[in-house]
Structure 1
Amino acid sequence: MNFSLITSGLAGALDPGYVVAVFLLSLRLSAVFLMTPVLYAFGVPAVARVLLVIGMAAALALGVPTEGLAVLFSASSTASLFVAAMTEVALGAMLALGILSAFAAISLAGRLIDIQIGFGMAQVYDPVSNRQVPVLTSAFDRLGVIAFFLINGHHALLRGIAFSLERFPLGRPWPLEATVPLVIKQVGGLFAMGFALAAPVVVCLLLVELALGVVARNLPQMNMFVIGIPLKIVVGLAALSLWFGGMGDSMSRIYGSIYKSWDATLSVPPVPAQGAR
């Protein structure tokens, strides 16, 4: 064991600039993980999440220049530290919005299918959103998280966070007003991606609705409520099972929107250093 390496690490940990860097970076990471179901989808304990965020912040802060952050550690710079903390939370929330929009699009696809099939009447507890949701919506939420880890999305997430430190250093303001068009674009794309994911199943169920309408018009004595619900369930689940094999391209486009949104966010020109105060 290299004693000099341990000594230098302890000296760096006691550096006021390093402490501020860990604090600000933990706020950025907390905002990213708090607004996305990456950690809490499968019941990760809160203590484990806090320790993970602090550990990641401590590791990433080792490569962050801390010369300009030491001044924020003094008592006279409390207001500047508060402004820097709020800036980090806002930036983390903006980065998290790209991930949240992708998972929300997958959840929207499940909700569209639930409503068309009739599963909207049956509610189950969803750990992702901590509320009661229909059956297929909960299944789509879990599917989205599993697929995210299968395509190594968490690795890309860590690389994006590291790159954000290069584009927007800790303690420096960033142009919040320039990201408003990006937010509008992401929210608008959410509905388009969600409908594209569920479109084949929704179209099949729409054809079933049209067929039931024609039958009800010509045979009014038939109870369409009793016949229609089981028929839509069978057709919907059959169409979903057939479409499940071809869902990969749509899922890839949804996850690709995360990297596009992050690239657009991190491409915003940062505020010059002299404008930080």
Structure 2
Amino acid sequence: MTADLPGALAGSQIFGPKFSIGAFLLFCRIGGCLMLAPGFSNSQIPMQIRLFVALAVTLSLTPLLIDKIPSAALGDDPILTFRLIAVELLVGSMIGILARIFFLALETLASGAAQMLGFVNPFGMQIDPSEPMAPLATLISLAAVTLLFVADLHWELLRGLAASYDVVPVGADFNARSALRQVADALGESFRLCLRIASPYVIYALIVNVALALVNRLTPQIQIFFVATPFVVAGGLALLYFTLKPAIEAFLLGFGGWLAAG
């Protein structure tokens, strides 16, 4: 019975205050990332469920990442502890923002595509009432978020989050210049990807508007823009039928490639 006493003492030291501080530092980065990451940060998910998901992910990754926290970060200095908490929150939030930028770009250009195709009826039923977007843009963004989990890309996000401790270890300073550069690169790559996806709708809108302008000049007696609205919408529906699936697949491939490279 006395032989088990050292093991019990060791177990009590493992789950002591320093272990709790280390787990909380991990929670700061992981929770900050999931607070802004696409899919996990949806406002339609109750806050308690999002908190429990962040706690579950943290507890799952703690045995793998607890050794990456230096012993100097687990000291008794409260000022150093608060500084580490602030830096970890900034690093985790930055990772979540970088992933969120791609979906913000998709929502922006999807709203533009809805405008070009004539699907901006304000009386359309919204899938997500909290998002002031056109129904088509809401449908595209919801499909992209759903396929994010179906294609297991959320595991790539968590893998990158775990690998971030090798790039930005606990105790390092937050490099604002590098973070701003990464945000700029993500903005450029995401809008380039989404503009390539939305290019058929841009071309369709240009052709239709030029054709309607020519017809209106030839027959000014007819209010051609009111007469042609059903035909524009029908053509937009046909174009959407053939291009929606490849567009979302191209977006997921581009986003997955960025996750794998980052």
Q: TM-score, normalised by structure 2?
A: 0.85
**Number of aligned pairs?**
253
Match of 1:70 among 74, 94, 100: 74
Structure 1 residues 212 and 53: alpha-carbon distance in aligned structure 2, compared to 1, 3 A threshold:
same
Give 1:118-133 correspondences, 5 Å limit: 118-122=118-122, 125=126, 127=128, 130-133=130-133
Q: TM-score, normalised by structure 1?
A: 0.81
- Native 8 Å contact 1:84 1:171 kept in 2: yes
- Native 8 Å contact 2:102 2:191 kept in 1: no
Q: Distance in 2 between matches of 1:114 and 1:46?
A: 31
TM-align CA RMSD? 2.6
Q: Distance in 2 between matches of 1:198 and 1:100?
A: 19
The aligned residue for residue 84 of structure 2 is 84
Matched, 1:254 2:258: no
Of stretches 101-110 and 60-69 in structure 1, the one that deviates more from structure 2 is 60-69
AA in 2 matched with 1:101: I
Q: Distance in 2 between matches of 1:8 and 1:111?
A: 60
AA in 2 matched with 1:251: L
Q: Distance in 1 between matches of 2:14 and 2:30?
A: 19
Deviations 1:36-90 (A, max 9, x none): 231244832211111121222123222312533320xx3xx22212211111111
- Native 8 Å contact 1:13 1:19 kept in 2: no
Gap regions ≥5 residues in structure 1: 264-277
The aligned residue for residue 99 of structure 1 is 99
- Native 8 Å contact 1:32 1:92 kept in 2: yes
Name the SS for the 1:39 alignment partner.
coil
The aligned residue for residue 178 of structure 1 is 178
- Native 8 Å contact 2:36 2:100 kept in 1: yes
Structure 1 residues 46 and 36: alpha-carbon distance in aligned structure 2, compared to 1, 3 A threshold:
same
Q: Distance in 2 between matches of 1:53 and 1:194?
A: 29
- Native 8 Å contact 1:22 1:57 kept in 2: yes
- Native 8 Å contact 1:205 1:235 kept in 2: no
Gap regions ≥5 residues in structure 2: none
Q: Percent identity?
A: 20
Deviations 1:217-264 (A, max 9, x none): 10111112322322221111111111124322343123323444xx2x
